[in-house]
Amino acid sequence: MGVVPGSTFRAKLPDPPTQPSPTRGEGDETAAPCAIGRRLQERGGLERPRRPAVFLDRDGTLNHDIGYVHRIADFRWFPGAVNAIRRLNDGGYYVFIVTNQSGVARGIYDEAAIHELHRWMNEELRAAGAHIDDIRYCPHHPEGTVAAYRTVCSCRKPAAGMLLDLMSVWPVIREASIMIGDQESDAAAGRAAGIASAIIPAGGLEDFVRQLLSRREAAWPLP
């Protein structure tokens, strides 16, 4: 898989990946472990084929980021985002969401609100013939106002904990996988996990996925 071209996208392929060790919080040697990565909907019990994966940031990548989105009424998909996910499903990718949700640590909403919003998102996707295979979120922040979540952890991007946790559960072809988001912290998490990364503009997911799929088929035929 090569770098997807286009001046509006900044995509970076890493050096040939090595097996990374679990990542601690940036600049902290005593970061709290977050090995489970706040699992939401792991699909167990079935043997899964090895496939490439796309790791998607949520706010600012899939939906408009108005700040601490946690209510269904405030959630607005970007045009083309649902179709992009469906195309990735059809193209043989595992599709994951990895999202920082520091609103929990800040006391703005609780983890139940995250679960409810993600349940609704997948209902919306299923109605359109698409789905998210699995989700990880990080509710922590080192400056949180809720003591239980006020910590430097190994899952909050730019650390790679959420991605590494998904890779430990799903048979991901690491060298054919990519992290897509709208912030440098998303790209840094991808690099730390040993996969390609891309920063896209708001609303740019569908165009990026179209180019990604056009280049992937020759290099990584479906199993």
Are the beta carbons of 56 and 62 closer than 8 angstroms? yes
CATH number for the domain harbouring residue 178: 3.40.50.1000
Range of the domain at 67: 10-217
Asked if the structure places residue 195 within a domain, the reply is: yes
Measure the CA–CA gap between 13 and 4, rounded to whole angstroms: 10
Residue 215 banded pLDDT, cuts 50, 70, 90: confident
Residue type, 212: L
149 within a domain of the structure (yes/no):
yes
Residue 42 lies in a domain: yes
Does the pLDDT at position 143 exceed 90? yes
Per-residue pLDDT, averaged over 106-133, amounts to 98
pLDDT for position 117 = 98
Query: What pLDDT is stored for residue 220 in this prediction?
Result: 55
Residue 23's pLDDT band (cuts 50, 70, 90)? very low
Q: Is residue 1 part of a domain?
A: no
Q: Is residue 22 part of a domain?
A: yes
DSSP element (H, E) containing 185: helix 184-192
d(CA 87, CA 38): 26
Strands (E), 63-190: 94-100, 134-138, 178-181
Report yes or no: 47 and 220 within 8 Å, Cβ to Cβ: no
Q: Decide the pairing of beta strands 178-181 and 196-199.
A: parallel
Q: Each residue of 79-94: pLDDT tens digit?
A: 999 999 999 999 999 9
Q: Is residue 223 part of a domain?
A: no
Q: Is residue 73 part of a domain?
A: yes
| Cα torsion 142, 143, 146, 147: sign | positive
Residue 121: partners with Cβ closer than 8 Å, 6 or more residues away: 75, 132
**39 DSSP β-pair partners:** 136
Residue 182 is assigned to a structural domain of this protein: yes
**Residues identified as active-site:** 57, 59
Q: What percent of the chain has pLDDT over 70?
A: 76
Q: Band the pLDDT of 63: cuts 50, 70, 90.
A: very high
106-115, pLDDT tens digit by residue? 999 999 999 9
The reported pLDDT for the residue numbered 85 is 98
The pTM assigned to this predicted structure is 0.82
Domain count, the chain: 1
47 backbone dihedrals φ, ψ, rounded to 5° = -70, 125
Do residues 127 and 77 touch, judged by C-beta distance below 8 A? no
